[in-house]
Amino acid sequence: MSRYDENKHDTAGNPDALSTANPAATPAAGAAATTPIGDHRLSNAALQTQCQSEHDREIPEVDLMSPLTLRGVTFRNRIAMSPMCMYSAEDGFANDFHLVHLGSRAIGGVGLVIVEATAVTVEGRISPRDMGIWKDEHIEPLARIARFVEMQGAIPGIQLAHAGRKASCDAPWNGGGSLKTPAEGGWSVIGPSPLPFYADDPLPALMSETDIEECIEAWGAAARRALNAGFKMIELHAAHGYLMHEFLSPLSNHRTDNYGGSLANRMRLLLKVAKHLRDIIPSELPFFVRISATDWADGGWDMEQSIILCRELKLLGVDLIDVSSGGVIPDARIPVTRGYQIQFAKRIRDEAQIRTGGVGLITDPQYADEIITGGQADLVFIGRELLREPYWALKAQHALAIEPEWPIQYGYAVKRRAK
């Protein structure tokens, strides 16, 4: 089975209102301060002047197609291609498949293209054919993708990952089972505790404090390589039962040292890695963290802990939480329905006062638009629907009665056909 199988405020969504309440989430230091419409701190006289100057002027509302600026980076709309493993790299190297796969979604109009979970160490791969960034030689083929995506008007982002105890598995189309021995193409896996994901998986080796320090350095080196490759957004993968999530969840972390037990101890590794990455990522570039908001299991990670974590991440300079769920245990009962994780994105946005991305079974443009206009999230992440339809974002513009922003090479031709 694939480790990615699905078992496994403001003023109605005005993000300027969020950034007013949340100075740490505002764009680059030094950027001109804007006064949100209806800011309660304005005096009556100032408000009257503002209203008069806006008389008869259409005030744009924030919707799916509105640009979003985080620090010094502007996404042309609120549609992100969710990171999706393609299990098609050789020795971690991106190739022509990835260029066309990711490049066509950029041509297809999304605002942000995120390269799939990209392993920060060789043993951190889910499968032997995961994308990797553990050596400098990986930079150039990734740079080719970042250049092309940017040339098409989308922001190139990359998700950095370590699979922890869920490493060393076959590709999903081969069943996704654990590769238990080197003869099968597998390798030894590591984790917070010697607890396997499935009962018959090999026991992960408990990470020593030295292993943990080395791992933090590996994340940093990977982030530097990603920046050298030209990515304009880095996402730290702390969801879906992989290494960072394994440390967070009491179901996978039974340690008794500084990295286990209390919530503060379980969050320690993720917060250290996040701080290290934020120190490396230039201040003008945004930094996202993907979390599983809940394990969907008694005694596991949950929303209350997620809100505390997200407040800490915000203090460290994380710009957006990409809110997913599940993945740390194989038998969680997840009520998978349209937008089933959006409630978590909204609560984190409201209670941790940080921007969020919503993901999960979002396929309909009207619904995606409602998520943004309703202030439930600041970005929508689209996964499988973008596999079915690379031009989803252009079609969404059409569905929302907006002239699609065709690439220049296509626009004059397809618009002429309509006449």
Ligand X SMILES: Cc1cc2nc3c(=O)[nH]c(=O)nc-3n(C[C@H](O)[C@H](O)[C@H](O)COP(=O)(O)O)c2cc1C
Active site residues: 242
CA angle 220, 226, 232 (to 5 degrees): 115
Residue 75: its H or E element: strand 73-75
- As a whole number of angstroms, the distance between CA 176 and CA 319 comes to 33
Smallest separation (angstroms) from ligand X to the CB of 240: 6
At which residue do the structure tokens 């238990």 appear?
180
H runs (alpha helix) in 194-238: 209-228
| Window contacting ligand X (CB under 6 A); options: 92-100, 234-242, 305-313, 371-379 | 234-242
Give the total of residues touching ligand X (CB under 6 A): 21
Task: Show the binding pattern over residues 61-90: x = contacts ligand X (CB under 6 A), - = does not.
Answer: ---------------------xxxx-----
Do 360 and 324 touch, CB atoms closer than 8 A?
yes
Q: Least separation, in Å, of the C-beta of 222 and ligand X?
A: 14
Q: Which stretch in 198-206, 262-270, 359-367, 371-379 sits in contact with ligand X by CB under 6 A?
A: 359-367
Nearer to ligand X, 17 or 133 (CB): 133
Hey, which residues between 98 and 127 contact ligand X (CB under 6 A)? 116-117
Q: Which residues of 277-290 are buried (b: 16+ CB within 10 A; e: fewer)?
A: bbebbeeebbbbbb
Q: Are 146 and 156 in contact (CB under 8 A)?
A: yes
Closest residue to ligand X in the complex (CB): 383
Verify binding: residue 382, ligand X, rule CB under 6 A: yes
DSSP designation for 174: G
Q: Which is nearer to ligand X, 259 or 392 (CB)?
A: 392
Nearest distance in Å: CB 72, ligand X: 25
Give ∠ CA 290-356-83 in degrees, rounded to 5.
40
Q: Does 159 bind ligand X (CB under 6 A)?
A: yes
362 binds ligand X (CB under 6 A): yes
DSSP result, 181-205 = SGGGT----EESSS--SSTTSPPPE
Contact between 237 and ligand X (CB under 6 A)?
Answer: yes
Q: Which of 324, 325, 356, 397 binds ligand X (CB under 6 A)?
A: 324
Residues at the interface with ligand X (CB under 6 A)? 4, 82-85, 116-117, 159, 237, 239-240, 290, 324, 359-362, 382-385
